[in-house]
Amino acid sequence: MWCVLRGWRQGRLGQRGAVAWQQPPGVRALASAGPESRGEFGYVVVGAGSAGCVLAGRLTEDPDQRVLLLEAGPKDMYVGSKRLLWKIHMPAALVANLCDDRYNWYYHTEPQPGLDGRVLYWPRGRVWGGSSSLNAMVYVRGHAEDYDRWHRQGAEGWDYAHCLPYFRKAQSHELGASRYRGGQGPLHVSRGKTNHPLHQAFLQAAQQAGYPFTEDMNGFQQEGFGWMDRTIHKGKRWSTACAYLHPVLSRPNLKAETQTLVSRVLFEGTRAVGVEYVKNGQRCRAYASKEVILSAGAINSPQLLMLSGIGNADDLKKLGIPVVCHLPGVGQNLQDHLEIYIQQACTRPITLHSAQKPLRKVCVGLEWLWKFTGDGATAHLETGGFIRSQPGVPHPDIQFHFLPSQVIDHGRVPTQQEAYQAHVGTMRGTSVGWLKLRSANPQDHPVIQPNYLSTETDIKDFRLCVKLAREIFAQEALAPFRGKELQPGSHVHSDKEIDAFVRAKAESAYHPSSTCKMGQPSDPTAVVDPQTRVLGVESLRVVDASIMPSMVSGNLNAPTIMIAEKAADIIKGQPTLWDRDVPVYKPKTLSTQR
């Protein structure tokens, strides 16, 4: 049965009677729904994740704009109450989300030739807040040069001068506003503040290795090591659902639906007029008088475009999907950050291994539930840094996160002993992949092929990651805690042995991007223009990490939120914010790496 979402009065949705199912795309099926059903919503936003929640909050600031927000997963709180789901909102419980398919798409890649044929696990958020409800809450913007590169790659108006104001607009930093920080935005950001001796020793060791301390890696100087910003507020995860969606749910011009799997965009010719989705076993339709906006992420947005007939025409025809627009860049240009864990045994019982014993876990949980304080109020990734791998590199290309514990199999295997580790990986890898539809069934996960370590450059750079991380761990500041090296292990010395270790142990940092690349219409690989409009069709946009022309040098959540803030102004027709000539650190010389 079809059900047509026509708006609401006093909280009730109207439905039409049964209409025969027809295969996409369906001008005839669209007509059978009746013209009176169209235009009940101005905007239909697909995906209540890191970008979709931002759009829902910003677009409904205008009471005359009616917005429907569709999310495939559940709410991030108990149904019928305002109580929090502790798994999501307790920062230290983040591993529980990564391993729970109730809130997670649970994707996997194809076997990777560059990683000994391994299939990698890709968790992605399927819940209000999306991946901002599952991630490690690290708030990193990337380097100013990343955005200037976007501009050069065809994303005009997305240079650092035009992006920084939107980072500030989104943010409410606990340290207050500055030229780089926002002070009044909905996204609360706090600075790492632990007194844990391992974090202190790691920062000292990095300086002993010759790297600078940076006061704010999201400010003037990314390069160096320091305390990281986190999307944690008063001891709780502060996702985009907390920041942008929950405060506006009472607005009469917003309707937020959960457990709705969108299967395609509806077109009238080449104009997007709505979406089809499945809810409670019924096929439903919702119509947009202005635009359909896909904010489903770097995997689901290109998948949905292809299911709707937008993509490589030859591939779509093979699956029996009628072509609306031949756009071969859809699903191409897939980029992700790969990382490895350098693990060291700790000679003192001060790591999170001790905190994970049953009685201690109960105490940690009770303190958090009672006061939102203690070890449960942080994800423990509080220090990190960015460095240049070698002379000649203009801005940092390697990132570190430090953790006073060990992670095994994405946290699905408990820690085995007292240990600490550095997550280290390259920021601008040259290996590029793709994703394609597995079938015309929206419930089938797409084929994900990242092509990790498919270039010699990436292999060499990861060799440097291992060597540079080991150098930091060998410094005097960590000597009081240093046990044997657990990973790679003291038996791994030569380049050949290091390469083998990387192939066997590297994992995704969970940062897929660029599968609906933003660029100029003249670029055959572009999918959206700099106004986020899908090329070749009308009234359809993509707003999420998939439109990044290339990866940024850091975690992707903060840039995704910025993208949505900037896109909201574009959609609303407001003047673009701009802050020119903001100073950014540059190394005095490129002849050395530090």
Catalytic positions, please?
511
Q: Does a cis peptide bond (omega within 30 degrees of 0) precede residue 111?
A: no
**Helices vs strands, H then E, count in the chain:** 15, 29
Rounded to an integer, what distance in angstroms lies between the CA atom of residue 231 and that of residue 25?
A: 41
Name which of 208, 557, 554, 187 is nearest 385 in CA terms.
Answer: 554
DSSP state of 539: S
Exposure class string for 336-347: b at 16+ Cβ within 10 A, else e? bbbbbbbbbbbe
Q: How far is C-alpha 41 from the geometric centre of its chain's CA atoms? A: 27
Exposure class string for 531-552: b at 16+ Cβ within 10 A, else e? ebbbbebebbbbbbbbbbbbbb
Tokens at 335, concatenated: 């980029």
Note whether 48 and 72 are within 8 A (CB): no
DSSP state of 221: -
DSSP conformation letters of 177-194: --SS--BSSSEEEEE---
Rounded to an integer, what distance in angstroms lies between the CA atom of residue 429 and that of residue 457?
A: 8
Q: CA Rg, the chain, in Å?
A: 24
Rounded to an integer, what distance in angstroms lies between the CA atom of residue 396 and that of residue 389?
A: 7
Beta-carbon contacts of residue 418 (< 8 Å; ≥ 6 apart)? 345, 346, 347, 348, 349, 350, 351, 353, 354, 483
H-helix segments, 414-550: 456-473, 495-505
Give the torsion sign (CA, 232, 233, 239, 240): negative
Name which of 485, 501, 489, 361 is nearest 420 in CA terms.
Answer: 485
- Residue that has been written with the tokens 């896109």 in this structure: 567
3-state secondary structure of 499: helix
Q: What is the SS3 assignment for 393-434?
A: CCCCCEEEEEECCCCEHHHCECCCCCEEEEEEEECCCCCCEE
Task: Please name the helix (run of DSSP H) or strand (run of DSSP E) that holds residue 233, with its range, or none.
Answer: strand 232-233
Beta-carbon contacts of residue 352 (< 8 Å; ≥ 6 apart)? 375, 380, 403, 404, 405, 415
